[in-house]
Chain A
Amino acid sequence: MSAFVLPTMSEMQIEQLQIDRAEALRYLRWQSTEKLSPEMAEQLGRAENDILAAAQPRFVYKCFAIENVTDKVCLQGSGLVLAGRDIACLLQNAGECLLLAATLGNRVDEIIRRAEICDISRALLLDASASAAVESLCEQLQDALREQLQAQGIYMTARFSPGYGDLPLSCQPQFCATLDTVRSIGLTVSQSGLLLPRKSVTAVIGLLTEPPAAAQLTLKHNCAACRLKNCPYRRK
């Protein structure tokens, strides 16, 4: 792979975290055709602001050379093994990949937990806004990295997380240990495999010297192929 310089974490400050309201509404199972009432828009706006105020966005990423891609992917200098056809497809022809972890921090969990005691409807809006916010954090980080890398002739694949497709959730502890997320961003994995703080994401992004194939850009959780036919969050 050609030489390139990956920006350091401190060069990669996310100035202003955004929340994609359409994404928040999808978590609220709001049908896109339905217009928000002014009251609902106001309440959701307030929830978004509360989440943005409480969020302590933190992230860590690290670049690994890929040792082999068959039915599983091994990363140089790491004990992590990424298994499954989907990850192999994502990292096809990629010489290196980024492991990435991002979190909104504990404060966000705290304000949702408090709202659940006194005001369950506010809790629901906060929860959806926070889910959208951590998604945005990843998007923003990805965009910033893409810009820096593309200028050096390096292309990024889509971001793919444990639990998507056939990449098992059970790799989460080893994934987080590899990035030492407890020390670097305060992100832990519970005994039952939950990421805590709750509003957190781990993901893999492949790095290529050639423009990626279409599948590598669109590969994410595939609602159409998922066995949960009546999942309320299913994308139509």
Chain B
Amino acid sequence: MKKQILQQRLAGQDFVLLDGAMGTMLLAAGLKLGENSELFALAQPEVLLDIHRQYMAAGSNIIYACTFGANARKLAGSGHTPEEVISRAVQIAKQAAQDTDTFVALDIGSLGELLEPAGTLRFEQAYAMFKEMVLAGAAAGADLIAFETMTDLYELKAAVLAAQENCDLPIFCTMTFDKNNRTFSGVSVAAMACLLNSLDVAAIGVNCSPGPEGILPVIQEMVQYTNLPLIVKANAGLPNPQTGAYDIAPEEFARQMLPFADLGVQMLGGCCGTGPAYIAALKQALAGARRGQRQLVKQSAVCSPTRLVQLNQPLIVGERLNPTGKKVFQQALRDDNIDYILARAIEQQEAGADILDVNVGLPGIDEPAMLARVIKALQGAVDLPLQIDSSNPEAIEAGLRVCNGKAIVNSVNGKAESLATILPLVKKYGVAVIGLTLDENGLAQTAEQRLQIAERIMQAALAEGIAPEDIYIDCLTLTVSAQQEQARETLAAMRLVKERLGLKTVLGVSNISFGLPQRELINQTFLSMALAAGLDLAIINPNIPAMTDTVAAARVLLNYDRGGAAYIQRVAGETGRPAENNAVSVADSAQSAEQALLKAVHKGLKSEVRQLTVQLLQDKEPMQLINGLLIPALDEVGQFYEQERIFLPQLINSAAAASEAFEVIKAQIIKQGRAGVSKGKILLATVWGDIHDIGKNIVKVILENYGYQVVDLGKDVPVQTVVETAIAQDIRLIGLSALMTTTVASMEQTIAALHASGHACHIFVGGAVLTQEYAAAIGADFYAKDANQSVQIAKTVLG
């Protein structure tokens, strides 16, 4: 009942007054800094009740229950549960609001811990904590849920999902922005709006942050990206470091809040430093104000947390994260070599991709789990929006769930079953979708037939509640060497889709040339034609300059790149182009190529090492190169390091350069379908709770150079994962890293668990706070004082 009344209010013209600070009021009542405010408030319910009543008397239409930090993490060890604290706090707020038309919000703040990949809190753990709070608040009778003071879009997504899946209350979302209109974690205003627009939330906005004047530019930007009702809950300026007092008085605060009314902001209130006098002043100031009309926003866009990508000019979707036809990529998936995939992603971003397609479908791979894992890892490596590419609905959902930002689903098609399974996922996770113009009858042969399928997909998507701006149509590229007449139909269909349906179009281009010589020429020409026909998203290999050049040129010719500014900059600086291969001429004869390679490894010259390796592989066996050249070179560098003739950065430089050579050699071996060159498997992990993994990564590079196969479990690895992997893959040498005294405890637990499992293995440990004695005391077999020593240990154990 109250939900409908609230929704009517949000749809209406009147301002809605929120309340002011809770913490500031509690500090005035004796709360100590750093103390748990929720528990303090519950210990004196009459004080809390009075605060709510003061705000209502000042004019607040919505009061926030004292539940901001009542999460499992902050209450741990207090003897109280979130459920208990929340239901009591909501009851008190409801008691204050009884017999009035004031609404009570379940107030949920940031959990106070960074989520992966920046921190150690898992997305799923964050979801579980929010869910617990939402269930308690809904059961206690809150009228709405207000998520506030968020700085991480990923955390906010976990929160919104937890609310949507566990109650039907309206959801408010406000984030805190710093200078430059970014949150502390770098989320842009446009990205926040883009993600939340299509998730089903009731209102969005800003809270906390500097005073109202600091928030003004944020809201000025926000109105350009959303049609949702807006919220501003501002601080009373900045606190004084001596007195703790904030520097803006109530009347001045109210005056500074008025410009938000002009911008069309509907809900206004106060955050840190404000009190009832501020809300009263605000009410008075708004009494004569009119809410400004907002411009209707219509945009096709996707985003990562830091980057909005609008489909307002032809864009490049990188196609390289896909195992189809790529043996090295397939091997990386089988070996769990996520770093290989990440490196391909970074390469594409540097080459100019705007969006990355992600496909990990391979027989024998648990696709839902792998897709979720790869997407999480990608989010720590690139900041591009993702296009989730799978034919498995379960995998698509697993990917969508953990994706930070607004993604594209690739794809749905005209088949009834596909429409029925994929479109609800697209709607639920608020993403865009690619519709393939095929159905139960197979591939449509004519442009008209393709249009008909596109229209059917569009109608089904609209009926599901998906906005037309989020539907992109793929008119399907067929191989011109097999079906020559089809290229023209594809192009004609694209024109029809754009003209008659007004939808965006997408096309995988590279398929067109299959089976023809000089594929690049056919691809480039077809891409030009497709761009002329109105292609919006070109799925291509961005590492091929001819392709990205064509898109850059088309942006000029089609009048998107105004004045050709981006094009000119690109040509002048060759930005976005992968480095050209300036074949080195250091090697005239085989003898000098070998010497040149040794020298290049010593000096840490990566591109030279790569080129020389390619050259030497033409007439040398891979093993000859490894054992005859690279290993001796590394041994020598290692000795220099021991003798302090060179220092750590130089050692690492050489190791990194040598690993370029190994990568080239490994790729060749895989392509030839031969068995790898492993001297044995070593498991490496940075222990649970620790995320300092640079040392472990250095060890990995060096061990791999010596021919060991490293199974890298990454950082913050649970004890059980180490044990299970060691047993499952029968790994006999295990390296653990921990940087902090606080995480050595977790190293000790991992070692104890390995011993308890009965799995026969040797364990070596490293990290800044460890010593030989300490390592022995926690049960390790070896202590590696540096990366170089880990090679000696590996030789001792594995040979």
Contacts and interface: CB of A to CB of B under 8 A. Distances in A.
Contact of A186 (B184, B650, B655, B698): B184
A78 B650 CA distance: 48
A15 to B, nearest CB: 14
B150 to A, nearest CB: 11
A29 B381 contact: no
A96 B280 CA distance: 37
B343 A188 contact: no
A83 B772 CA distance: 29
Given A30-B649, A183-B272, A194 B740 contact: yes
A62 B241 contact: yes
Contacts of A223: none
Interface string B337-369: 001001100100000000000000000000000
A113 B656 contact: no
A190 interface: yes
Interface string A103-143: 00111011011101111110111010000000000000000
Contact of A106 (B185, B688, B701): B185
B647 interface: yes
A124 B649 contact: yes
Contact of A178 (B33, B346, B743): B33
Nearest to B606: A119
Contacts of B197: none
B430 interface: no
A79 B742 contact: no
| Residue from A10, A60, A114 having most chain B Cβ neighbours under 10 A | A114
Question: Interface on chain A toward B: helix, strand, loop, or mixed SS?
Answer: mixed
B33 A77 contact: yes
A106 B698 contact: no
Nearest to A40: B649
Contacts of B603: 39
A31 B112 contact: no
A182 B741 CA distance: 23
B34 A177 contact: yes
B260 to A, nearest CB: 21
Interface in A182-229: 182-183, 185-186, 188-194, 196-198, 228-229
A78 B186 contact: no
B771 interface: yes
A141 B64 CA distance: 37
Contacts of B342: 117
Contacts of A121: 604, 649, 652-653, 655-656
Interface in A10-41: 10, 28-31, 34, 37, 39-40
B689 A196 contact: no
A151 interface: no
Given A107-B186, A182-B110, A119 B34 contact: no
A191 B113 contact: yes
Interface in B697-724: 697-698, 701
A117 B693 CA distance: 11
Interface in B146-165: 149, 151
A190 B694 contact: no
Interface residues of A, number: 74
What band does the interface of chain B fall in when counting residues whose beta carbon is under 8 Å from A? 35 or more
B692 interface: yes
B151 A113 contact: no
Contact of B689 (A5, A192, A229): A192
Given A62-B244, A120-B655, A113 B740 contact: no
Contact of B117 (A113, A186, A191): A113
A53 interface: no
Q: Which of B240, B606, B649, B743 has the most CB of A within 10 A?
A: B649
A159 B648 CA distance: 30
Contact of B648 (A28, A56, A61, A62): A28
A116 B238 contact: no
B697 A116 contact: yes
A194 B691 contact: yes
A167 interface: no
Interface string B240-281: 111010010000000000000000000000001000000000
B339 A61 contact: no
B767 to A, nearest CB: 11
Contact of A9 (B33, B110, B241): B241
B114 interface: yes
Interface in B213-261: 238, 240-242, 244, 247
A28 B649 contact: yes
Contacts of B741: 163, 169
Given A120-B697, A192-B740, A230 B771 contact: yes
B346 A188 contact: no
Q: Name the residue in B346, B652, B655 with the highest tally of chain A Cβ atoms < 10 Å from its Cβ.
A: B652
Interface in B63-112: 73, 110, 112
A121 B691 CA distance: 18
A9 B698 contact: no
Interface of A: 5-10, 28-31, 34, 37, 39-40, 43-44, 56, 58, 60-63, 77-80, 98, 105-107, 109-110, 112-114, 116-121, 123-125, 127, 163, 169-170, 174-175, 177-180, 182-183, 185-186, 188-194, 196-198, 228-233
16 contacts: A5-B242, A8-B247, A31-B644, A40-B650, A80-B33, A80-B34, A114-B346, A114-B381, A116-B694, A121-B649, A177-B33, A185-B184, A192-B689, A192-B746, A194-B690, A194-B692
Give 5 closest A-B pairs by Cβ, nearest first.
A186-B184, A192-B689, A178-B34, A177-B34, A193-B742
